[in-house]
């Protein structure tokens, strides 16, 4: 064990460490330090910083949306601003976005709802098309800029003047009466939630707002079953030619380990009625449309809401228990954005530990903290082969 590895192992959160020698496509040598975090310390670390990290993610989300809206045109007309392809890092072509929106609108209209609550209304793409036919339409969003713009837009359109907009986060349902909506809509927002428990909290409260016979529509859910396929295809589209399969597999595994969005197994929704009494069933729907990126890796969900009398035969055991059981089987219900956030913070902390003890010439380009399962998979894989970007900025961008 070398001095860098010893220094990392001295940290109370670290169970194992490896300093890996890598080579870039141009032959430059560089080093990456990998640290495996003790499972108990990872769990404790998540618990200690849960609220702070949740607040940070919510604030980061709010600022990101605010910046997008401020940079958009002065017009209040809803647009597809901010939709960027993972494959090209360019805006998704507008015809694909139009088709995506049309298919989503058709799916929500098929529910027959006349009173809709939309959680995360964003730039108003759904509001513009759904609200005119509704008796009641309420949209909520974190972004004060989005809410202000949408209020002005709605006031300029007679058919939208009945729409109410509220600035609040997804778990805030204050002032909304029980069973006052036919449908609650969360379209293309749950991927930004801090964890599956947060989503569960939202669904529990949303179910209480839906009248018997109504629905909760969750659109554009990223599919955990296809996460490896997704990252494989993204990396294959981006990497230089000539890389080895071992290099690609390692890159994919690292991308999955550092996934910062909530990606959900469809089985979660199929079993959600077991712990939310008013939800009687779920329908998992394949995305419609021709766009590869907007349809292949995501799905829609329609949850049916019935009378509370159905709860008598339901087991109200905690979501956490079922999640733990699935994890023990090697099949988690969802990614863990909070763990990824904690590991990113710890990576920076470990980097600072090394900088305090070693000269610049001795330091690795980056330190990557991983849970033990990902550490075993990624570190034991073949080293990154020639063709990988060999600069610290590119490496750090993956953390």
Strand partners, 298: 222
Angle at 148 between CA 142 and CA 151, to 5 degrees: 110
**Closest to 211 in 3D by CA, of 184, 185, 186, 187:** 184
Angle at 241 between CA 238 and CA 243, to 5 degrees: 95
* Residue-averaged pLDDT of the chain: 85
Q: Does the structure show a pLDDT above 90 at 359?
A: yes
Q: Which residues of 278-293 are buried (b: 16+ CB within 10 A; e: fewer)?
A: bbbebeeeebbbebeb
The pLDDT of residue 245 is: 78
The pLDDT of residue 362 is: 93
For residues 143 and 69, the answer to whether their CB atoms sit within 8 Å is yes
Q: Which residues of 311-340 are buried (b: 16+ CB within 10 A; e: fewer)?
A: beeeeeeebeebbeebeeeeebbbbbbbbb
Among 69-73, 138-142, 190-194, 367-371, the least confident range: 69-73
The pLDDT of residue 318 is: 41
Q: What percent of the chain has pLDDT over 70?
A: 81
Rg for the chain, CA atoms, rounded? 23
Q: How far is residue 154 from each of residues 56, 77, 257, measured CA to CA in Å?
A: 31, 10, 42
HSE (side-chain half, CA atoms, 13 Å) at 334: 29
Q: Does the structure show a pLDDT above 80 at 100?
A: yes
The pLDDT of residue 382 is: 46
Q: Give the span between the Cα atoms of 161 and 136, in whole angstroms.
A: 11
Residue 398 vs residue 7, higher pLDDT: 7
pLDDT digits (tens, 9 = 90+) for 268-290: 999 999 999 999 999 999 999 88
Query: Could you tell me where the beta strands, DSSP code E, fall in the chain?
Result: 14-23, 29-37, 115-119, 136-141, 164-167, 181-187, 210-222, 279-286, 298-305, 366-371
Query: Could you tell me where the beta strands, DSSP code E, fall in 111-259?
Result: 115-119, 136-141, 164-167, 181-187, 210-222
228 three-class SS = helix
The pLDDT of 230-253, averaged and rounded, is: 82
pTM (2 decimals)? Answer: 0.86
Q: Give the span between the Cα atoms of 272 and 200, in whole angstroms.
A: 8
Please, which pLDDT band fits residue 389 given cuts at 50, 70 and 90?
Answer: very low
Main-chain dihedrals φ then ψ at residue 34, nearest 5 degrees: -105, 135
Q: Helix 144-155 crosses helix 39-71 at what angle (to 10 degrees)?
A: 40
Q: Give the span between the Cα atoms of 258 and 341, in whole angstroms.
A: 9
Q: Give the span between the Cα atoms of 247 and 186, in whole angstroms.
A: 38
pLDDT digits (tens, 9 = 90+) for 147-167: 888 999 999 999 999 999 999
Among 138-152, 218-232, 328-342, the least confident range: 328-342
The pLDDT of residue 238 is: 80
Strand partners, 115: 136
């Amino acid at each position: 064990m070398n001095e860098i590895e010893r220094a990392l192992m001295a940290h109370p959160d670290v169970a194992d460490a490896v300093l890996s020698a890598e080579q870039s496509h141009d032959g430059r040598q560089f080093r990456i330090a990998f640290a495996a975090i003790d499972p108990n310390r990872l769990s404790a670390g998540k618990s200690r910083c849960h609220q702070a990290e949740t607040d940070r993610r919510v604030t980061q989300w709010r600022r990101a949306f605010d910046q997008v809206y401020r940079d958009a045109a002065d017009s209040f007309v809803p647009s597809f601003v901010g939709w960027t392809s993972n494959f090209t890092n360019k805006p998704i072509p507008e015809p694909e976005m139009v088709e995506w929106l049309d298919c989503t609108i058709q799916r929500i209209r098929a529910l027959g709802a006349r009173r809709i609550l939309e959680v995360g209304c964003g730039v108003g793409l759904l509001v513009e098309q759904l609200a005119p036919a509704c008796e009641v339409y309420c949209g909520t969003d974190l972004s004060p800029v989005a809410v202000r713009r949408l209020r002005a837009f709605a006031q300029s359109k007679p058919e939208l003047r009945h729409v109410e907009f509220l600035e609040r986060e997804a778990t805030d349902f204050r002032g909304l009466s029980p069973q006052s909506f036919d449908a609650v809509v969360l379209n293309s927002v749950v991927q930004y939630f801090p964890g599956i428990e947060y989503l569960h909290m939202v669904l529990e409260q949303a179910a209480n707002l839906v009248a018997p016979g109504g629905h909760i529509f969750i659109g554009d859910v990223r599919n955990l079953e296809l996460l490896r396929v997704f990252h494989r295809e993204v990396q294959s589209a981006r990497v230089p030619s000539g890389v080895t399969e071992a290099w690609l597999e390692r890159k994919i595994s690292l991308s999955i380990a550092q996934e910062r969005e909530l990606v959900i197994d469809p089985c979660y929704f199929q079993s959600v009625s077991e712990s939310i009494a008013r939800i009687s069933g779920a329908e998992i729907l394949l995305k419609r449309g021709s766009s590869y990126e907007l349809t292949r890796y995501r799905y829609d969900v329609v949850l049916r809401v019935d009378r509370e009398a159905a709860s008598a035969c339901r087991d109200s055991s905690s979501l956490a228990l079922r999640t733990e059981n699935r994890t023990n089987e090697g099949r988690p219900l969802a990614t863990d954005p909070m763990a990824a956030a904690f590991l990113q913070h710890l990576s920076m902390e470990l980097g600072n530990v090394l900088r305090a003890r070693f000269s610049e010439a001795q330091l690795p380009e980056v330190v990557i903290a991983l849970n033990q399962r990902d550490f075993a998979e990624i570190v034991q894989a073949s080293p990154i082969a020639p063709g990988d970007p060999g600069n610290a900025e590119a490496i750090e961008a993956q953390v």
